[in-house]
Amino acid sequence: DTAVSQTPKYLVTQMGNDKSIKCEQNLGHDTMYWYKQDSKKFLKIMFSYNNKELIINETVPNRFSPKSPDKAHLNLHINSLELGDSAVYFCASSLPGTGRDSPLHFGNGTRLTVT
Amino acid sequence: DQQVKQNSPSLSVQEGRISILNCDYTNSMFDYFLWYKKYPAEGPTFLISISSIKDKNEDGRFTVFLNKSAKHLSLHIVPSQPGDSAVYFCAASSDNNNDMRFGAGTRLTVKP
């Protein structure tokens, strides 16, 4: 009964490859997100999807593209992987708004290593 | 643009004592503040929050204090327990979760 699940947990690939990370939530939330935790441990938002509409895109290279087949899924596609893409990627979901009534619910992360 | 800063990467506390984790922010538009707790190999989980209209919010052993004039908040855990050992992230947002910013986290170790 995992609330937000993402696969795979670990992903090791070579530069130049294309890869995808899947995310599913069973909380009935309206909004889903992708976060990147970089080498300095900061969690930085990459994308936010609300009702299949991209809300924001924070200076993310266009090699990264979110795909949402339905409200419960937000997959992350990465083309032409680069060394600097190595990081932990977290999927999250929430109700609309912010704060106590709509905190983010995170998946357990996908550690991407590009060699 | 690191708008949320946690200047202590780690903190070690004896079981039963108080743990105080600090967080500073620079954006005066932030009006909602949250703490998330993260265990290894798991995602962050929501712990406690506070809105800018309050200066204190308490939930069991956890209390968050907000000083808007200083742009500073802190999380107090009393009494600390070994199970509290985790990384604690401070986060802040204004209108909605789309503009939420996280600090780099503080690793708390509670020693038995």
pLDDT of A57 over the 80 cut: no
> Can you tell me whether residue A26 is helix, strand or coil?
coil
pLDDT value of residue B97: 82
Q: With cut-offs at 50, 70 and 90, classify the pLDDT of residue B67.
A: very high
Q: Which amino acid is at B79?
A: P
- Closest residue in B to A49 (Cα) is B98
pLDDT value of residue B37: 97
What's the rounded mean pLDDT across residues A53-61? 79
pLDDT of A96 over the 90 cut: no
Q: How many helices (H) and strands (E) does chain B have?
A: 0, 11
Q: Do the beta carbons of residue A106 and residue A90 sit within 8 Å?
A: yes
A-chain CB neighbours of B27 within 8 Å are: none
B-chain CB neighbours of A99 within 8 Å are: 32, 34, 49, 51, 93
pLDDT value of residue B65: 98
pLDDT, tens digit, 9 for 90 and up, residues B74-112:
999 999 999 999 999 999 998 778 888 999 999 999 999
pLDDT value of residue B1: 67
- Cβ separation of A40 and B45 shorter than 8 Å? no
A99 vs A95 pLDDT, higher one = A95
- Choose the most confident range, by mean pLDDT, from A65-79, B65-79, B83-97: B65-79
A85 closest CA partner among A29, A24, A17: A17
How close A83 gets to chain B, by Cα (Å)? 22
B-chain CB neighbours of A55 within 8 Å are: 98
pLDDT, tens digit, 9 for 90 and up, residues A38-54:
888 889 999 999 876 78
A109 closest CA partner among B38, B33, B23, B25: B38
Q: Is A104 on the interface with B (CB under 8 A)?
A: yes
Token couple for B89: 């992230």
A41 closest CA partner among B103, B82, B49, B88: B103
Q: With cut-offs at 50, 70 and 90, classify the pLDDT of residue A93.
A: very high
- Cβ separation of A41 and B100 shorter than 8 Å? no
Of B34, B87, B103, nearest to A103 by CB-CB distance is: B34
